[in-house]
Structure 1
Amino acid sequence: MKIYISKITLLLFLGFLSQVVHRVQAQQDSQFTQYMYNTVSINPAYAGTRESLSIIGLYRNQWVGLEGAPETLNFTAHSPVGIQGVGLGLAFTSDKIGPTVESIVSADFSYNLNLTEKLKLSFGIKGGFSLLDFDPSKLVIYNPNDYDLALDNYSSPIVGVGFYLHSKTWYFGLSTPNILETEYYDEVQVSTATEKMNLYFIAGYVAQLNPRLKLKPAVLLKSVQGAPMAIDVSVNALLKERITFGLAYRLDAAVSALAGFQIDNNIMIGYAYDYDTTPLGNYNSGSHEIFLRFELGTRLRAKVNPRFF
């Protein structure tokens, strides 16, 4: 039976990949350096896999000193529920870029299968809506008579899917937070902004170097039609189950330093600094990102034990 489930899983995975890989090649979704601590923000299948109620607040200030640069606030909460194998999650994201503010509210549903005693597979779906506010007063308009720019807002639905295969020492996932393609400013013939589907592939491994030190390499591939693939590679070390430190590299974009501290079994705080390696780095002083995570026991697991992923 387990072999049969595995074959079905592989066919579904390959089918999903074949439908989306040819469409994906400009970052449109929010970008996070500390994605490894907030995987549910990009993959709904991750909801509930920590086997506890996990609540994360994350703030990112990108390209500090550059007017109109991205500023992101992300809040997620997810947990397993009383039904065996089911996880639920809620998320809110506010993304400010130039004259626009996008607010996203979504909910996640996941179902976990035990393929073997040590291997689990999760399927997830995401549903919600996006509100985009456009304020032309924040633009420098040299000839406002060329086209009609007015304060306006737009809404669109969100439907996302994901897979997440994991054991106690490794994982990989494939997801898209929104499979729907949305066009904004339809009434303006001069310019139409199209929001494309973003595809994410994430993978990681935890190596126990000695009783006090663990090492976690991870990679995140992000792709969207019309832009080169973004590749994030990171290595984090966990010392005495309390202190985390690491380095990351975003291909042709930035190098990052990461640090975190597990205050107790329930609370973790983390910080990341990105140094821009592109010519744009001459006009900003880097990017800052901070998160705070609370975890509480559930009926499925009363005690919370800190985990690396």
Structure 2
Amino acid sequence: MRKLYYLLLAGFLTTTFQSHAQQDPQYTQYMYNMNVVNPAYAGSKDHLDVGLLYRSQWNNIDGAPTTYTFNAHSPVGENTGLGLSVISDEIGPIKETNVYADFSYTLRLAKSNLAFGLKAGATFHDASLSNLDLIDETDPAFAENITNTYPNVGAGLLYYSDNYYIGVSVPNFLDAAHLDADPDGREYGNEEQHYFATAGYVFQLGDNVKLKPSVLVKSSFESPASFDGNLNALFYDRFEIGASYRYEDAVSGLIGVRATDWVQFGFAYDNSISDIDEPSYEAFVIFHIFFNKKTYRSPRYF
């Protein structure tokens, strides 16, 4: 099965990546991974957040996408924030790692906030082509591995209060093609600009129940958009359960637990409704590190 999969993947790389952009990883629990896609989110809370996320896409397919994410962000002054994110995305023999630093500046309005964010870093692209099982072992396009590094610069806006947010971002403004080293200059894929639009609201249904609808729109500028709609219910500010729908792709179930003031867990299961009829899984943990214990008396819900 592995040999067949890599053979098909190799054919895909040489014939179709020339006309399609490398897609950014997708997240079902994007609302807990916000500064990865929008640098304006960095420092939006009154404490340091450190998060880890793991995603297994199409779990039963050998070599299917696997994503590991680390993110951290914190305020560093009255109106400024800093963040760091590392995203490692693998599909078959292709591995891409993005490392970003985030900076945000926030304007404090009467009952809300408007944050501007900048993101800068690099993409490390590694294609291990020489170890693939091929029909033609002498094909020069697969004679050696490809390793390249590209700079990235992005920006974002976030308008928010204690119970709602609206954000737009472009994490990478720069195009970059993954080129073979041979004289023909074959392209094995290319990085293009992606945009993200997010919004969410927190409805107080009772003393101990909150309803949290949210939406994510994501696309490259030359590809069809992907739409995610999510509805979570939060009980006692500790336990969360929800459902999500990704247009023509998946229906998901989500659960989350804030076990203590300082640690939060979450898990999502995606049931595919696309032609790739395989499930996906996602899990995260966030550590909330408070500089002032009084901060948790007015918790943020996103």
TM-score normalised according to structure 1 size: 0.86
Cα distance, 1:137 vs. partner? 4.3
- DSSP 3-state at the match of 1:88: strand
1:51 is displaced (CA, Å) by 1.5
Aligned position for 1:152? 146
CA distance in 1, matches of 2:116, 2:272: 35
Among 58, 62, 70, the alignment partner of 2:65 is: 70
Match of 1:84? 78
Q: Which residue of 2 aligns with 1:29?
A: 24
Structure 1 position 174 matched with structure 2 position 149: no
* Unaligned 5+ runs, structure 1: 1-24
1:303 aligns to what? 295
CA contact (8 A) 1:27 1:227 kept: no
Given the alignment, which residue of 40, 52, 55 partners 1:45?
A: 40
* Aligned residue in 1 for 2:16: none
Q: CA RMSD in A?
A: 1.7
The aligned counterpart of 1:125 is 118
3-state SS, counterpart of residue 210 of structure 1: coil
2:39/2:118 contact within 8 Å kept: yes
Equivalence map 1:197-216=2 (5 Å): 197-216=193-212
How much has 1:115 moved relative to structure 2?
2.3
Equivalent residue pairs, number: 279
Q: State the partner residue of 2:261.
A: 265
Report how far residue 138 of structure 1 moved.
5.3
Shift of residue 170 of structure 1?
1.1
Instruction: Give per-residue Cα distances to partners, 1:139-185, cap 9 Å, x unaligned.
Output: 34222444332112110001010000001121100001111111111
1:46 to partner: Cα distance:
0.1
Aligned residues of 2:22 and 2:191 also touching (Cα < 8 A): no
Which consecutive segments of 4 or more residues in structure 1 shift more than 4 A?
none
Deviation of 1:186 (Å): 5.0
Q: Give the SS at the match of 1:194.
A: strand
Correspondence 1:234 to 2:230: yes
Structure 2 residue corresponding to 1:98, chosen from 83, 92, 98? 92
Q: Equivalents in 2 of 1:148, 1:27: separation in Å?
A: 19
Aligned in 2, Cα 1:207/1:26: closer, same or farther, shift over 3 Å? farther
Q: State whether residues 39 and 46 of structure 1, in contact with CA within 8 Å, keep that contact through their aligned partners in structure 2.
A: yes
SS at match of 1:148: helix
Q: Secondary structure at 2:40's aligned position in 1?
A: helix
SS state at 2:174 partner: coil
Partner of 2:283: 290
Aligned residue identity for 2:100: S
Q: Percent identity?
A: 41
Alpha-carbon distance between aligned partners in 2 of 1:255 and 1:140, rounded to the nearest angstrom: 35
Q: The residue matched to 2:260 in structure 1 has which SS?
A: coil
Q: Which amino acid aligns with 1:268?
A: Q
Determine the structure 1 residue equivalent to 2:270: 274
CA distance in 1, matches of 2:193, 2:98: 15
Letter in structure 2 aligned against 1:35: Y
Give 2:214's match in structure 1, choosing from 218, 224, 241.
Answer: 218
Normalising by structure 2, what TM-score?
Answer: 0.88
Query: Which residue number in structure 2 is paired with residue 134 of structure 1?
Result: 127
Partner of 1:6: none
Contact 2:101 2:121 in 1 (8 A): yes
